Amino acid sequence: MNKFTRNLIEQRIQEVKEKGSKPERKDILQTFIDSIDEKTGSKMNIKEIVSENMALIFAGTDTASNTMSWTLFLLMVYPEVYKKVVQEIRSTFPDQGQSIKYNEARTKLSYLEAVIYESMRYIPAVPSGLGRKVPKGNGIGLQGYKIPSGADVYIFIHGIHRNPKYWDKPDKFIPERFMGEGAADRKRNVFTFSTGYRICPGRNLAWAEIFLTLSNLLRDYDFELPEESQFGPNVIDPETGDPQIMPGFLGLTLGPKYIKRDGWAIVKPADLSSYSTTNNGSVSNAVEKASSRADKV
């Protein structure tokens, strides 16, 4: 991957030199090549550009793919949520001959957006963030605790997302919490992509992939778990009283642990004959009801 990325970068630099002009449409690669450090006035070298591109690709694809996997799983074990989000998408975009674009999905599918946010809160693809090492010296003090030099420090994102101080019913899967009054503040408290200066560089790519993929998949296909699955709406966790969640495996991101056993779904082409643009009123009513319920969450 490193060699492949390096070759592409070198090829682009050579093409610009030979043509004497840059591409008409400036993409992220050209932005990296042209970028100049404001303090030193220097440009990024090949090694730095390779590193940034690979971080962007992996950060934007691995988090997105696992987020979509968990979201589809949650929809299949919460059929009422699945029904609402499918109704919203198919009523808003009933023409299967036209792909749903990112901007359309982001602005018109408010319940889908709420489902994605709740999925990222409930099962964050990066539950512990990337670690930082305490620098050499006397260590640091944090919340009354002494952390020695050389220790690895991580942010427990999963714990933040389940903190009852900030979330009502934190152990419940309730997409409506991201609709209605206070939704904007709650969205800012979802740290799947981290925050601040160290925020995930691939977050915008991930958002585009998630919205584009889920909106088109859920419009064009029906999903359900196979009969032999160990999970489903009626497979209840005795400790929580909610549908049992399949176990995960944490590498750089959190994905299904037993993918060969649990990573199956029955996928069928969807019948949209009952949907038309005249159904938009009904889906709007459903979204409004969801928003009103969100005020109580």
Instruction: Average pLDDT across each block of 10 residues of the chain; the chain has 297 residues. List them in order.
Output: 80 84 78 85 86 70 87 97 97 95 95 97 86 87 90 90 94 96 93 77 84 97 96 94 93 86 95 69 51 48
Residue 239 CB coordination number (10 Å)? 8
Which pLDDT does position 280 carry in this prediction? Answer: 52
* Strand ranges, E, within the chain: 132-133, 140-142, 145-147, 152-153, 221-224, 248-250, 254-256, 266-269
Strand partners, 243: 236
| Residue 78 placed within a domain | yes
Q: Is 200 part of any known ligand binding site? A: yes
Statement to judge: residues 31 and 101 lie in one domain: no
| Residue 7 placed within a domain | yes
Which pLDDT does position 296 carry in this prediction? Answer: 44
Statement to judge: residues 284 and 182 lie in one domain: yes
d(CA 25, CA 14): 17
Which pLDDT does position 289 carry in this prediction? Answer: 52
| Residue 105 placed within a domain | yes
| Residue 247 placed within a domain | no
- In CATH, what number is assigned to the domain containing residue 115? 1.10.630.10
| Residue 181 placed within a domain | yes
Q: How many domains does the chain have?
A: 2
Which pLDDT does position 59 carry in this prediction? Answer: 61
Statement to judge: residues 31 and 65 lie in one domain: no
| Burial class of 67 by CB neighbour count within 10 A (0 to 12, 13 to 18, 19+) | buried
Statement to judge: residues 93 and 152 lie in one domain: yes
Statement to judge: residues 30 and 105 lie in one domain: no
| Residue 226 placed within a domain | no
190, 67 contact by CB (below 8 A) = no
* Parent domain of 124: 59-217+274-294
Which pLDDT does position 173 carry in this prediction? Answer: 97
Which pLDDT does position 67 carry in this prediction? Answer: 93
Which pLDDT does position 1 carry in this prediction? Answer: 64
Number of H helices, E strands in the chain: 11, 8
